Structure 1
Amino acid sequence: MNVARLLGVLPALMMASTMVEPPAAADSPTLNKIKCSGAITIGYREASIHI
């Protein structure tokens, strides 16, 4: 594919990418919990090896 053809297709690809639905992760239980509580809980395992 030559550069001129690529530049001709690029605007159409950019417009198409804006019409894509949001990812399914937007409905995940974890993100809903963060949205409802307004906080993110960070934890760690004491038995995990530190690097």
Structure 2
Amino acid sequence: MNKDVDIERHEVQEKSDSSMVWSTFIKYAAYLIIFFGVLYLIIYYLLPLV
């Protein structure tokens, strides 16, 4: 029994897209700014009212 088997090799190369990196950085920077803004609001405006 003679079988011909073709084996395909797929090589996946990770490409670092600089625009994707910058958009992710901007997204998390915005999250941090919003977080610290809310924290500032709580500490300086709402906490003295209590």
Is the structural similarity TM-score above 0.5? no
Q: TM-score, normalised by structure 1?
A: 0.28
Which protein is richer in helix relative to its size?
A: 2
Q: Greater relative contact order (Cα 8 A, min sep 6): structure 1 or 2?
A: 1
